[in-house]
Every structure is written in C-alpha cells, then in structure tokens.
A = this chain, B = another copy of it.
Amino acid sequence: MSKGEKLPVDQIRAGRLGGERDEGLLRYLSSMDADRWIADADVLVDIAHMVMLHRQGIVDTKSAQAILRILLQFHDKGVPEDAFSPVYEDIHAGIEAVLMKKIGADAGGRMHTARSRNDEVATCLRIRLREEILGELQNLVVLRETLLGTAAVHLHTVMPGFTHLQHAQPTTLAHHLLGYEQAFSRDFARLRDAYCRVNASPLGAAAFASTGFGISRSTTADLLGFDAVLENSMDAVATRDYAIETLAAQVNCMVNASRFCEELILWSSPLVRFVQLDDRYCSSSSIMPQKKNPDIAELLRGKSGTITGALMSAIGIMKALPQSYNRDMQELSPHLWKGCGIVSESLPLLSGMIGTAVFYTERMREEAGRGYSTATELADVLVRDYDLPFRQAHTIVGRAVQKGTIDLATLEGAARETGGISLVKKGLTDTAIQDALDPVQSVAVRAAFGGPSPAIAGESLENARQRLAEDRTTVARRIASLTQAWEQLLQEARGILA
C-alpha cells in the first residue's frame, strides 16, 4: 500500500467502530501474509457455503447466482490482488468487500449470512492443512522408496555401527538405512492419523453458537470433502489442537531427518570419508578455495530447530486461552505454515541427497574392523562354544582390550586374572579368535529378526516394501477423494448459474 493512498472502507467495522488507524497498526492486525496460504481455500469455502444456503432456501437464486459467478471467477483466475489490501484485517473480509464492490451490497451482502469468520477461517485452515499433509505423506513415500532402493544395493556393504559415536559392532549400510525407513514410516503414520482429526468440518459453527438459520452442516462438509462434521460449535471454532498435533508430528519427522543429516555431515568430513555428497547439495567458501561443505544437510539440521520453536510458539499461544475465539489464535497460523513449508521443502532434498550420494564402501569396510568392534562376537563365542557365563566372557574380553590387543595370550592372561580360569584348557585357539573377530562373519551371524545379516535384512527390506505399498495406496485414495469432492462442488455451483 503506497503512502497516502485512500483506503477502501472496512465493512465489518463500519457500523460499530470509529478511529483512524495508521499503517503500523493495520500491519499488526493483519493476517494477510499468512492468509495467502488460505485464499484459494477460502473461495472454495465461500462457494460451498453459498451452494448450501441456496439449497436450503436461505438465499434466493438470483443473489446466489450473482455471488457464485464472481466466486467461480476467483476460483478459476485466482483471488484478485485488491482483496489482499492491508486495509482488510484478513482475506475473508477482503474477498467479501471486493465481491460487494463488483455485484453491489444487496446481493453481495448476503454471502456472509449464517456464518462468521471464526468458522470460516477454521475451515480454511483445515482444508489447506489437508493438502499440506497429503503432500508431506507423498514426500515421505518418496524418501522411503529412496532409502529402500539404496538399501537394496548395500545389503553386503559392511560398515561400523556406532553407539556413543564409538565403534560398537559391525553392521551394514543397508541395515542402517532400513532403520531410518522404519522411523520415517512412523512419521507417515503420525501424519496420517493427524489427517483424520484435521479432516472434520467446523463450518456452520458461526461465531461459536451456530446460527438460527436453517443451515445444513453435513451438506457443506460433504461438498468440501470432509469425513465428518466437527460437532460442538464452540469447540469447532475454539480448538487448534489439530495444529499442535500436526506440528508435533512434523517436529518428530524433522528430528529423524536431523539425525540422518548429522550423520551425512559427519560421514562426508575428511575425518570419516564414508560418503561423497553430490556437488549440488554442497557449497564452497568465500575465502577457503578447497571447501566443499554439506550445507543442505546443515540447513536441514538447523530447520529442525526452527520447527521446534514453531511448535513451542503454537503451544504458548493456546495455553490458558478462554473460550471461544481469541485474536491470539491468528498469531498461530503462520507457525503452522512455517512448519509445513519446512517439511515439504526438506524431505525432497533429503531424498535427493541420499539418492545421489556416493558411498565409499571400501572405507566403510576398513573401519568396520577397527576399534575392537567385533569384541562382542568374541565374547559371544566364548559363551556359545566354551560355555562361559556371558558376564565373565565380557569381563575377560574387556580386560584384553584394556591391555591393547586381542590374541590368545592376552585373553588367557585376562581369564586367569579376572576369573582364575584357563581358556586354553577349554580349547580356545588363535584360529577361533580370528574367525570371531572377522567383521563380515560377525555381521553374517547377526541373524535375529530385524538384524543386519544380509539374508535377514533382505527379508526386512521386503517387509518394508509391502508396508510402503499400502501407505502409497492410502495417500492415493485420500487424494482421489478430495479431487472428486472438488469436481462435484464446482459442478453444483456451475449448475446454479446455468
């Protein structure tokens, strides 16, 4: 808004309030920036509401036609820019005002019959959030496909597994990637469950007390593709629990992604050299010419901090708010969109990074045997083949490591020292020790359900593929259902015009 421009009249204030308001104040009040997310959804809500008002005989055909003609234009060509003028507190007021300018106050003034901005914005938020969640579910499907595809070629790629960032036991890259796939499959499930609670219609709740007009809430819910009506009209406008739930599910997902990125950053350090990320996901330095930095992975890790703050903001805003609507709630929506944007931008980049990464499998195998990482298998062999109690075997091998080497002599010394027994007498040989310490062998025997042995990991991969196929179907079904609802809505609206 350029300075000095004459502001259009605000219809909603017109009757009740006076007072000149300056730009700073209007900017503070305005939700227009965040409302760009919901402007298209608002037009659909307006259309559905008008179709219902017309069906119920609350608005006459002529007025309905005039209103729907404009709304369908807005739908086809986009909401006109003047509806976003900062003079309107929000896009709902903006659309109503622009529409009234086009068709006059008599017809246009009937659009807001039997509703309030409170139920209107609550409906828009849910419609838009549905789309976002479906997009994120699709992103998760792609990410999981990428993980499974990469795992499939690395079932035999032995690498060190870590606890406390110390070499722990050998595993495979496939096993490592399958672990992340499981985590992201739970993120999928959480967002899928959140979707069910998002996908209920608050429309018809009006300000919070519903309305004395003979509306049909189930009609608008059907027209807008909702699974159900959010029954109690006060709760319908007052709750934002679905926003907190969705943000929390997104945070969980970004925390998982941040852990993967932490590893990609570490693995691509010259200190480790397990992976080379594709140049496109890296940046150089303005001063150090040799640098190839994993910037995308770092930014994603940083954004997991950002989205955590968004969740905290949302919770802080809602805490201890009395019923029903309070203006504080306007301040919540941007955090929701922020969270959605972060997830929908980050997941494809993570998929891309993994899909294009070059893994240095030789380096991985080389490290797999370092740091005494097969000591556990040796202890297990002492249990299985020489009948030692596990705790005793653990202590003997631990003492050998403390002395700095694992061979028959050191183990025998450790056994005598810590337990007063002789392993040599029990038949332990150097060959048996060397076999136990071989990383490939150590991985091969880890064949419990869900373990890293290539055969078992192959089965896990197959199980994961089946679950993924089901999840892919779930998303596709949800999307088809919404598409169908939109087609029917527009068809009915156009039918009134005809």
Contact with B along A13-44 (1 / 0, CB 8 A): 11111111100110111000000000000000
Partner of A165 from B108, B233, B265, B447 at Cβ < 8 Å: B265
Pair B398/A14 contact, Cβ less than 8 Å? yes
User: Across the interface, do B322 and A306 meet the contact criterion of CB distance under 8 Å?
Assistant: no
| Given A161-B234, A298-B164, A326-B298; A17-B282 close (CB under 8 Å) | yes
5 pairs from A and B in contact (CB 8 Å cutoff): A100-B391, A165-B326, A241-B256, A289-B378, A308-B315
Asked if A204 and B448 sit within 8 Å, CB to CB, the answer is: yes
A299 in complex: contacting residue of B17, B270, B282, B331, CB < 8 Å: B331
In whole angstroms, what is the CA distance A460 to B210 when docked? 13
A28: chain B residues within 8 A (beta carbon): 296, 299, 345-346, 349
A376–B258 CB distance below 8 A:
no
Is residue A92 within 8 Å, beta carbon to beta carbon, of the partner chain?
yes
Q: A309 on the interface (CB 8 Å rule)?
A: yes
Query: Are A259 and B323 interface neighbours, CB within 8 A?
Result: yes
Can you add 18 more A-B contacts, CB < 8 Å, to A96-B391, A211-B451? A109-B389, A161-B324, A163-B208, A163-B288, A178-B232, A204-B448, A204-B449, A241-B255, A248-B248, A248-B252, A258-B319, A259-B321, A262-B320, A266-B322, A270-B367, A289-B394, A289-B397, A305-B314
A312/B320 in contact, CB under 8 A: no
Contacts of A296 in B (CB 8 A): 25, 28-29
Measured CB to CB, the nearest residue on chain B to A321 is B259
- Contact between chains at B322 and A319 (CB < 8 Å): no
In the bound complex, how far is the Cα of B463 from the Cα of A235, in angstroms?
A: 15
Given the complex of chains A and B, what is the CA–CA distance between A93 and B414 in angstroms?
22
- Distance between Cα atoms of A239 and B398 in the complex (Å): 28
> Which of B16, B287, B414 has a CB less than 8 Å from the CB of A284?
B16
A305 and B25 CA atoms in complex are apart in Å by 19
Q: Which residues of B contact A163 (CB under 8 A)?
A: 118, 207-208, 285, 288, 291, 293, 324-326
Q: Is the CB of A169 within 8 A of B305?
A: no
Question: Chain B nearest CB: distance from A146 CB in Å?
Answer: 16
Q: Tell me, rounded to whole Å, the shortest Cβ–Cβ distance linking A447 to chain B.
A: 7
- Report the stretch among A129-137, A212-220, A478-486 that lies at the interface: A212-220
| Contact present for A390 and B204 (CB under 8 Å) | no
Question: Are A234 and B171 touching (Cβ within 8 A)?
Answer: yes
In the complex, what distance in Å separates the CA atom of A82 from the CA atom of B340?
Answer: 29
Chain A 311-355: CB-based contact to B (< 8 A → 1; otherwise 0): 111111111111111111111100100000000011011000000
Question: Are A280 and B391 in contact, CB atoms less than 8 angstroms apart?
Answer: no
Q: Are A290 and B93 in contact (CB under 8 A)?
A: no
Tell me if A291 and B389 are in contact (CB < 8 A). Answer: no
A-B interface, 4 closest residue pairs, ranked by CB to CB distance from nearest: A15-B398, A309-B313, A109-B389, A210-B451
Q: Is the interface of A mostly helix, strand, loop or mixed?
A: helix
Q: Give chain B residues whose Cβ lies under 8 Å from the Cβ of A111.
A: 390
Separation of A17 and B295 alpha carbons in the complex (Å): 13
| A287–B207 touching, CB < 8 Å | yes
In the complex, which residues 28-70 of chain A have their Cβ closer than 8 Å to any Cβ of chain B?
A: 28-29
Question: For residue A176, which residues in chain B have a CB less than 8 angstroms away from its CB?
Answer: 234, 323
B25–A349 CB distance below 8 A: yes
Instruction: Say whether A446 faces chain B, with CB atoms less than 8 Å apart.
Output: yes
A210 B320 Cβ-Cβ under 8 A:
no
Contact B331 A288 (CB under 8 A): no
Q: Is A412 an interface residue (CB 8 A)?
A: no
On whether the beta carbons of B302 and A332 are closer than 8 Å, the reply is yes
A178 to chain B, nearest CB (A): 5
Most buried by B among A187, A320, A321: A320
The answer on a CB contact under 8 Å between B313 and A316 is no
Which of B182, B210, B311, B443 is close to A446, meaning CB atoms less than 8 Å apart? B210
